[in-house]
Amino acid sequence: MKQLTTLLLLCCFALSYGQRPAKQISNETLEAIKNDVWIPFMEAYDQSDSQKLKSIHTEDIVRVTQDQNLIETGESYLTNFGQFVESVKARGSQLGIAFAILSTAMDDGGELAYQTGYYRFSSRHGEDQDFAVRGYGQFHVGLKKENGSWKIWLDSDKHIDLPHEEFNAQEIVYELEES
């Protein structure tokens, strides 16, 4: 009987907890995350700027590359990522990335956020006039405020097959104008 009572209490708790209304994320917060993280991220790719790329991550970043079953952390990840971006520049190529935000969750204190979405990766080589889309991925990021700015402390992604139309159909899409 004691086990049945415990089970009923757990079920009631789970049902009532699952019916909490969704937390509303303010437009101000979404705009701050966009300006602190997503715009500089896209600019860092566009400009092959490893320092700008590093500046939007925390020093203790945790990076999960799901396709490779790989976890990297901290300065070694940031150095490797920065070297990749710089090597693209040295080859005379340019990268592009755009983001479609699917969901945002936030703690009650307004210091932590979690976003999911898609990214579109593109590049152009040498004298190419236009960027060519190279693929799509799905991402999950943990964000936290440090000294008043949002930073990425967790970054996880994997490549996915995604129609261009589905990417563009999302309510929130961030992309730079082509230069």
The residue type of 20 is: R
Q: Does residue 17 form part of some domain? A: no
Number of residues written out for the chain: 179
Residues 159-177: tens digit of each pLDDT: 999 999 999 999 999 998 7
Residues 123-166: tens digit of each pLDDT: 988 788 888 899 999 999 999 999 999 999 999 999 999 999 99
Q: Does residue 140 form part of some domain? A: yes
pLDDT band at 179 (very low <50, low <70, confident <90, very high): low
Q: Does residue 2 form part of some domain? A: no
- CATH number for 80: 3.10.450.50
Residues 1-19: tens digit of each pLDDT: 555 555 455 555 555 555 6
- Under a CB-based contact definition with an 8 Å cutoff, are residues 48 and 94 in contact? yes
Q: Does residue 10 form part of some domain? A: no
Q: Does residue 19 form part of some domain? A: no
Q: How far is CA 19 from the centre of its chain?
A: 28
The range of the structural domain enclosing residue 57 comes to 26-174
- The number of distinct structural domains making up the chain is 1
pTM reported for the whole predicted model: 0.84
Q: Does residue 16 form part of some domain? A: no
10 Å CB burial of residue 163 (0-12, 13-18, 19+) is: exposed
